[in-house]
Amino acid sequence: MKLLPVMTGAFALAGAAAAQASGGENPMQIDVGLQIWTLVAFLGLFFLLAKFTFKPIAQALDRRSLMIKESLAEAERARAEAKKQMDDYQKQIAQARTEAAKIVEEARSLGENVRKEIVEKAGAEAAALVQRAQEEIQRQKEKGVQELKDTVASLSVQIAAKVLEKEVNPATHRQLVDSLIADLGKLRRN
């Protein structure tokens, strides 16, 4: 309603300016009839706008306000849901990391156990292999000693037989020893 006096004053000044331009009347003189008709026209227009325009505009603004409120509420629900999902994902990630760490630790422990087992088996196999090799060496040594004894016995018998056949003089003795060394060399090569 504060707008009404301002509008009335504005129309009065406009009317005065028009009157001065047309006939030379005093610009400061107020025409009451013109002011009344201006006020009637303004009020009529105001009531027409109030009856036909203000309600639909107010309803549209109310609908818009309601829609904005609903949108804000929906956005808040979506934000809360997103926060909840983010919290769930963070928990799942933390749980997955814990499980992954546990799996890595179990794998490390299993790998260490397998390594120890392999080392133990390899040690046992190496010890068994060394034992078999030592036994084989001992058998070969005994076999070699036995063969040497047999060879020496055979050569002794041969020497004794040759000595008995001949009387031994230094030249014959030397010849028998050289023959015996040659026979031993042949046996070793075989």
C-alpha span between 125 and 132 (Å, rounded)? 10
pLDDT for residue 183: 78
C-alpha span between 85 and 30 (Å, rounded)? 73
Q: Where is average pLDDT lowest: 52-66, 73-87, 176-190?
A: 176-190
C-alpha span between 13 and 7 (Å, rounded)? 10
pLDDT for residue 145: 81
pTM: 0.38
Q: Which are the contacts of 162, defined by CB distance < 8 A and separation ≥ 6?
A: 176
Percent of the chain with pLDDT over 90: 49
- Reported as a single tens digit per residue, the pLDDT across 131-172 is 999 999 999 988 888 888 778 777 776 777 666 666 666 777
What residue type is assigned to position 171 of the chain?
A
- Does the pLDDT at position 1 exceed 50? no
